[in-house]
Amino acid sequence: MTEEVSNAVSSSLWPYLFTVGGFLLAVFAIARLAGEKRPPANTLAWLLVIVLFPYVGVPLFLLIGGRKLRRVARHKRPVVIHLPGVPAVSPVIAGLPTAHTLAATGINPPAGGNTVRLITTGEQAFTELETLINNARQSIHLSTFILSRDDTGRRIVRLLAKRAREGVKVRVQLDALGCLFSSRGFVDPIRRAGGEVVRFMPVIPLSGRSSANLRNHRKIAIFDQHTAVVGGHNLAREYMGAQPWKKRWADFGAVITGPAAALLNEVFLADWAFASRQPLEKLHEELDPDAVRIEGNSAVQVVASGPDVAGDPLYEGIISMIQEAEQSIWIITPYFIPDEVLLRSLIVKARAGKDVTLIIPERSNHPITDYARRHYVRQLRKAGARVMLHTGRMMHSKAVIVDERIGLLGSANFDLRSLFVNFEIGVFLYSETDVCAMRVWAGDLLRTCIEPKPEGPQRMRLLGNLAEDISRLLAPLL
């Protein structure tokens, strides 16, 4: 009888302890969530998941919910760029609100003396990369989110291995999640040839230098500290290749020569020191003091953004661009999930009669983001903005153009993950020639676009609206 009573008490106690445990876990996670600087939509999404499903939401939050992880910051040197010999730009450019805003956040001021050559096709991207790899004399520093085990990836690996055998210092940094299946044996030819390959923030095991959430989305290649390729292209057939391919995505980037390339190299070295555990000071000893050379007249401001940078400079720079616009704002992005401040800023400009144009793919490679964007697109169109859908192949291009005076390109999408979570790189262009070239490219892109179809009757959109609401709720967690 005593044993039966004990079992009965025990069976009734476990559900109670289970409930209390879930409550305490939720309180702990909510306290940590409240202490982080997050967009309201992101905070609300995590709050709902934690409260409604604590035994799933809390572990998930601890695994992938971090934004500015202190333990990561302790190990990784922040990206702070101060290079001697970088020429200043004219007071007119330095005084632009966007340039001034970025400098006030601690970003290096715009650097003069550069040349900028836009990359508008995947074939051009591959040709530029291949040529620069073959012509490098001292060093090749390459960072990518995706290196695919396809023809494009294999050819790049062979090229890098060949140059390493010839005595060029080859360093390749691969995001551990994006290159999950290509960061080990696939790149062994580079290692065997004397090159170095590191994985950025391994997902497993969860150590002090690991995170499943904080991904290095920067795509940078620097050659001899003097020439850099930057943009949205990953090293995969979908993004670039030696031969045309009808399914290749539309992407965008630039080749930059001059002091700005040396600044991009500083971003790479900070990432490399963290991932390889090599002292940054030792890496700096290898630098060529004559690498910072004037090559042209382009003014370029390099902006790193992510957990290793104080605040959110890329986000603030985009807000400043929008607020500074007097005539037009063109945004080209594969995923459009802005926060409330960005959305309202665009709506106000559209209502004021400015040319607000958004170019997005008709269908992206992530259907959930397509559903999530519908609310924001609807609000923009209602305010008078022009939304155009790129048809046919997927569009992966990322750019912002304001008044033909300021251009932005790089690795960041116009969504919450890129603006607030990922390690990203942005390049602001202030020279009229470069910005006008961006506008010409955007105009060509526009000719391949169509306007969205009118939405059907409300009763016919019930399931679509439900999918939209759920996707928008989950969007801040993507």
pLDDT band at 104 (very low <50, low <70, confident <90, very high): very high
Which class would CATH give 80-93+109-298? alpha beta
* pLDDT at 465 exceeding the cut of 70: no
Q: How far apart are CA 78 and CA 91, in angstroms?
A: 28
| Percent of the chain predicted with pLDDT > 70 | 75
The SS3 of residue 72 is helix
The SS3 of residue 434 is helix
How far CA 25 is from CA of 13, 291, 354, 380, 381, in Å, comes to: 18, 53, 49, 40, 42
pLDDT band at 73 (very low <50, low <70, confident <90, very high): very low
Q: Is the peptide bond before 205 cis (omega within 30 degrees of 0)?
A: yes
Angle at 214 (CA atoms; ends 247, 211), nearest 5 degrees: 120
Give pLDDT tens digits for 418-427.
998 899 999 9
Could you tell me the residue ranges of all domains in the chain? 2-65, 80-93+109-298, 313-477
How far CA 200 is from CA of 203, 263, 331, 407, in Å, comes to: 9, 20, 30, 29
> What is the rounded average pLDDT of the residues 219-244?
97
State phi, psi for 303 to the nearest 5 degrees. -125, 110
Give pLDDT tens digits for 342-393.
999 999 999 999 999 999 999 999 888 898 899 899 999 999 999 999 998 9
* pLDDT at 239 exceeding the cut of 90: yes
pTM, entire model: 0.85
* Token digits of residue 210: 């690991």
pLDDT band at 89 (very low <50, low <70, confident <90, very high): confident
As beta bridge partners, residue 246 has none
> What are 293-296's contacts with CB under 8 Å, separation 24+?
293/113, 293/226, 293/258, 293/259, 294/87, 294/112, 294/113, 294/258, 294/259, 295/113, 295/114, 295/115, 295/257, 295/258, 296/113, 296/114, 296/115, 296/116, 296/257, 296/258
pLDDT band at 238 (very low <50, low <70, confident <90, very high): very high
Q: How far apart are CA 125 and CA 133, in angstroms?
A: 12
Equal CATH topology for 80-93+109-298 and 313-477 = yes
Mean per-residue pLDDT of the chain: 84
Torsion region of 396: left, alpha or beta (phi above 0 gives left; psi -120 to 50 gives alpha): alpha
CATH topology of domain 313-477: Endonuclease; Chain A (3.30.870)
Q: How far apart are CA 183 and CA 301, in angstroms?
A: 31
Q: How far apart are CA 122 and CA 148, in angstroms?
A: 15
Token pair 């990369």 in the structure block, residue = 129
The SS3 of residue 410 is strand
As beta bridge partners, residue 200 has 175
